[in-house]
Structure 1
């Protein structure tokens, strides 16, 4: 169901049914009552800003007098909050956006819950694309911060990191989950991380690491190893190995080290936490 609807006799049962799982705010208004029109516009604005948090059911009392009479509406504007088919709160007259939100926040789930639920729906899709996973990642990062870093949200964030192949971030976050929250989902993610790390430890990487141990100053070998690490979704290790060289010589290997370093940063993307961290570290060397 859309988050803003016109309530009529034809769809009222559908709205009542929807209130079993979602909160519904009924807005009673009439064109001849300017204050009710203004409040309706404010409620539409709030409903759009919080899209999905509640359903705004608009009741035009001039066209739907029976509904207004059923809910015993005495004056306009009037608003009722429905849950499980029953009015649980409401207000009459005009209210500021702050007052409306204060009332809604008493009953509605926190805004971050909406973000997390949207991300969970993305993760549940077996054919999810990388673009959608990145969308889920943004939602979960926001939800994790706004929830006060709840472990439940953190686990969904770890799941998303693993599906995107961002193993370092997944491992770091998974290590923060306390013993009390180490449920079956945690154990599942821990096993997935172990498998992903094993898969990322390729023969090519091991061979390059061994060669580099024998020739630690070989910049070309370092570049090849960084590329292999990045290909195996071990971007942090790749960047760290190159940054050690750049700290000593920004023009190492005729500038190739810096070039590959920048290419890896670009591949990770502008919003990537790891990329932003190493981009700042590089700027500290440049300036």
Structure 2
């Protein structure tokens, strides 16, 4: 379904039918905006993307305040962009300003919770505790229903990389949905690439290249979840040749940090060690 199925314009004459009455069946977000408003142009596409992504979990009604000033007065809109959530005929929550997408998602989970949000929250909890296979199972359910769900796609990339499934992770990265999550997904690309390489190529390529053999062995350790041992091997290789394969081991290390998270003790330890080698 296209965005028009879930996003529509409303006016003073259609508001009660299209928003108030309809909100008894499905949560409605109302975006008060104007063509001259810069922050509106930032927030609007985010809201439209999430409405489409929700696949009917909520609808987005757009109100041009220049053309519908009485609606602004009726609902106390004093600054734009302003978003108000309607359910059962009433305003239940709202916010003002072009807040970032993660905060919009948090807002939606409060005003328009759905089964997808619940499943995604469960998957993220499993990712946080490194139950990668269980997280993958839940994320597949979401992606099957919502292929453009960027948050689920990022979680899937993490789950796949953590299990050594580099090729499948790369396939998702290559067609990653638009959204801020793409930055985090790209941080995992180098790690996914080396995992795919060692899984698909035979060992004969390393027979006469000890450095490459060590690099691949480090990747195999990472694929098996032995992060400290794998990063020890990468660090040893970097000490020998910082420019090996165009500095690829450094990018792989950064991918491991992204996978484990900034607060992980291994990330803190090896990030400091990496900096000491590179600089």
Query: Of the two structures, which has the highest relative contact order with CA contacts closer than 8 Å and spacing of 6 or more?
Result: 2
Classify the TM-score, shorter chain.
0.3 to 0.5
TM norm structure 2: 0.40
Structure with bigger gyration radius: 1
